[in-house]
Amino acid sequence: MRGKTMLDLGARNELIVLDAIRHAPEGTSQSEVVDRSGLSRQAVSLITRRLRERGMITTDGTLAGSRGKPRTVLRLVPTSLLAAGVHLDPAGITLVLADLLAEVIAERRLEAPTDDPAGDIARIAEALASIVEELADAGWRTPDGRGPEEALLGIGVASPGGIDVRRGVVVNPPWLPGWRGVELVEQLAEASGLPVVLDKDTNAALTAHTWSAAQSSEETVLYIYVGAGVGSAVSSGHRVQHGSGALAGEIGHLPTGLDGEVCGCGRRACLSQFTDVSILLTGGRRAGILPADGEAGGKDGGGADGTADADPGGKAGRDAGREQDTRSQLQDLVAAADGGSEPARALTLAYGAALGEALRTLIGVHDPHRVVLGGPYWTALAPQVMPVIEARVRRDAPPERVQLMSSTLGDEVAALGAATLFLQRELSPAAR
Ligand SMILES: [Zn+2]
């Protein structure tokens, strides 16, 4: 697959103009872009003409000016370019194609990663090629008539931790025992013919949020990613903080100060002892709320539990439905708690209390304007867990100090976020 577009947005000034237009979904005027970008009128005029010629913006319609003179409206053409997002997760691989406003154009679920990373990477590239082909066959075109292959800029990949972002290598992710030292960026680029960027699932989910939110660029956001375990990410001015390696936001062993056992790390009552999803599922089974173990689901989050079994044929259907299965078990658990089940309540309460205490600490450290909770299992847990978290957080951080909100981007936020990782790298002036 050849993905080189007509796009050559190397020039930072072009990105600045594009960014100013993108952040005005209702449309903006040339004068406003001049004000916002700090560029000269001549430069903005030249750049907007180029962007229009490439089909990335339109200049249709007029906007009533403050002094009554109608001005030409500049608007982004969201479907002029696409990026692919891949979420590599122990429970399954999700692929999306998204446009410039992070709207999902197409989506596909693949079986979980196996012990054969090279085979998995080939699978991802093939699936992406087939999605693009199906879109083309279905008649998808950019408004100026280009097909999806031509519009596709590149691929972002979101992985659990244990990666080297700079080298593009999956080093030792938790719960993906077959993936050690995999040169993912290089291999996927070769298999797909497209440029590839790699980051953690938590950072990807946060990037999806900052990319799509029309928010102040000064805002500091703390993102809590609720998956098999809980991770965090912080962004300031639309830039995700990476730390010196890729270990920022690994909060599983943050002490909660609650009553709890000694953890494997040597401390007591670590966050992960309450918020690994396997704890909820095991507790739910013990209490008879969830069906006894034995078939699909319920294993993710439990560590090295033999996901790579010797039965690749039989594994297929099981893995594809595993994340969904975990989600529906969490929904059952929350429904039981809603219905007054004491053991279910105790589990969700402990989860919320631990995450609430962790958040009190993290808010103290980062002083964010906003805390966003999201990730594959958040929607299922939120009805029971959010009120508990909120009560804890509000002990020392009132609403006027920090906003607490659920992500509105759905359970597949990491895949969507992976696509925005690529958009961010290619199109955000802040990334240059
Ligand atoms: Zn620990």
Q: Which CATH superfamily is domain 79-215+414-431 in?
A: ATPase, nucleotide binding domain (3.30.420.40)
Q: How many CB atoms sit inside 10 A of residue 220's CB? A: 15
∠ CA 165-169-174, nearest 5°, is 90
CATH architecture for segment(s) 220-409? 2-Layer Sandwich (3.30)
DSSP 8-state symbol, 79:
G
Q: Where are the alpha helices (DSSP H) in 140-252?
A: 148-151, 184-192, 201-212
267 CA → ligand 1 middle, Å: 5
82 CA → ligand 1 middle, Å: 41
172 CA → ligand 1 middle, Å: 19
261 CA → ligand 1 middle, Å: 10
3 CA → ligand 1 middle, Å: 45
As a dihedral over the C-alpha atoms of residue 94, residue 100, residue 102, residue 103, rounded to 10 degrees, the angle is -90
Q: How many CB atoms sit inside 10 A of residue 17's CB? A: 28
Q: Is 387 exposed, middle or buried (0-12, 13-18, 19+ CB in 10 A)?
A: middle
Domains 79-215+414-431 and 220-409 in one fold: yes
217 CA → ligand 1 middle, Å: 35
Both structure tokens of 371:
């805390």
Picking from 347, 346, 343, 351, the residue whose alpha carbon sits closest to that of residue 288 is 343
263 CA → ligand 1 middle, Å: 4
Tens of pLDDT, residue by residue, the chain (432 residues): 434 444 454 578 888 899 889 888 788 899 999 998 888 999 999 999 999 998 999 987 666 655 556 678 999 999 999 999 999 998 899 999 999 999 999 999 999 999 999 999 999 999 999 999 999 999 999 999 999 999 999 999 999 888 999 899 999 887 788 899 999 999 999 999 999 999 999 999 999 998 876 655 678 999 999 998 999 999 988 788 887 776 788 899 999 999 999 999 999 999 999 999 999 999 999 999 999 865 444 444 333 333 333 333 344 444 446 777 899 999 999 999 999 999 999 999 999 999 999 999 999 999 999 999 999 999 999 999 999 999 999 999 999 999 999 999 999 999 999 999 999 999 887 765
The answer to whether 106 and 131 have CB atoms below 8 angstroms apart is yes
Q: Within a 13 Å sphere around the CA of 422, how many CA atoms are in the beta-carbon half?
A: 31
64 CA → ligand 1 middle, Å: 59
The ranges assigned to domains in the chain are: 12-76, 79-215+414-431, 220-409
The answer to whether 423 and 15 have CB atoms below 8 angstroms apart is no
Q: How many residues does the chain have?
A: 432
360 CA → ligand 1 middle, Å: 18
- Range list of β-strands (E), 365-427: 370-374, 403-406
Q: Which residue has the tokens 């030292």?
A: 181
pLDDT at 294: 54
271 CA → ligand 1 middle, Å: 7
231 CA → ligand 1 middle, Å: 14
262 CA → ligand 1 middle, Å: 8
pLDDT at 299: 40
- What is the Cα–Cα distance from 17 to 38, expressed in whole angstroms? 10
DSSP 8-state symbol, 282:
H
270 CA → ligand 1 middle, Å: 5
pLDDT at 428: 82
The answer to whether 185 and 197 have CB atoms below 8 angstroms apart is yes
pLDDT at 311: 39
247 CA → ligand 1 middle, Å: 15
pLDDT at 274: 96
Its CATH class, for the domain covering 12-76, is: mainly alpha
161 CA → ligand 1 middle, Å: 16
- What is the Cα–Cα distance from 39 to 430, expressed in whole angstroms? 16
Contacts by residues 122-125 (CB-CB < 8 Å, ≥ 24 positions apart): 122/191, 123/93, 124/86, 124/93, 124/95, 124/188, 124/191, 124/192, 125/1, 125/188, 125/191, 125/192
Both structure tokens of 21:
């237009």
